[in-house]
Amino acid sequence: MPDSERVIRPTATMEQRVDAIQAALDERGMKAAEAVAEQAHRVQEEWVPRNGARVVARAWVDPAFKARLLADGRAAVAELGLSMPKHHRHLVVLENAPKVQNVICCTLCSCTAFTLIGLPPDWYKDLDYRARVVRESRTVLSEMGLDLSPDVEIRVWDTTADTRYMVLPERPSGTEGWPEDKLADLVTRDSLIGVARLSPGGA
């Protein structure tokens, strides 16, 4: 198409572009509308950070599970009935410690263990986070509200292949004897990404 023609025609809105693709697929008998409804349910109701929170709570109360989780994340989360897409062939769980903070990112696009952590939040996909977190991690975390003391080692994990990562945050003090469900309530999505630590129980 000549450039002159493109200049004078308006660019379609995002809604018009989505409608166009869906209608084109539907007309070819591909039942895109049904697929959209199913996927919308999955991303909003099934692939939620509560999944990762359940994994973390189990790891806190069950040392044998934690050992299996750190050795083979994909197999361990399956024990809790949690699945990962076929192409996420490997799950590496990153254990935080008082002097270690793990944080995950994807500088090239937006890869995450989304069935466990949920579809990534807007800021995770923004250019600013992707550009800066690998190079200015301490500054970026501080701007995001996580001030780490200088002796805490920061480990940034760039999701450049089909290995997926999830952070195992530290169990807050004051939560001894809590049931798993209540522990899972403490675990935030941001702590699974590694840009937040968890508050002590009862604080």
The residues that are catalytic are 106, 109-111
| Residue 105, beta-bridge partner list | 158
Can residue 155 be called a binding residue for another protein (CB under 8 A)? yes
CA atoms within 13 A on the CB side of 145: 8
How many amino acids of this chain bind another protein (CB under 8 A)?
A: 78
Phi and psi at residue 33, to the nearest 5°: -60, -40
Distance CA 47, CA 88 (A): 14
Instruction: Retrieve residue 66's tokens.
Output: 């934690």
Give the one residue of 54, 66, 130, 197 binding another protein; rule: CB under 8 A: 130
Q: Using the rule CB under 8 A, which residue among 64, 81, 151, 161 binds another protein? A: 161
**Binding of residue 195 to another protein (CB under 8 A):** yes
Give residues 175-194 in contact with another protein (rule: CB under 8 A): 188-190
Q: Given the DSSP bridges, would you call strands 163-168 and 153-158 parallel, antiparallel or unpaired?
A: unpaired
Answer yes or no whether residue 24 interacts with another protein by CB under 8 A.
yes
Which residues from 91-110 bind another protein, rule CB under 8 A?
92, 107-110
Position among 61, 70, 80, 144 found at the interface with another protein (CB under 8 A): 144
* Nearer residue to another protein within complex by CB, 19 or 62: 19
Q: What is the distance, to the nearest Å, from the Cα of residue 110 to the centroid of all Cα atoms in its chain? A: 9
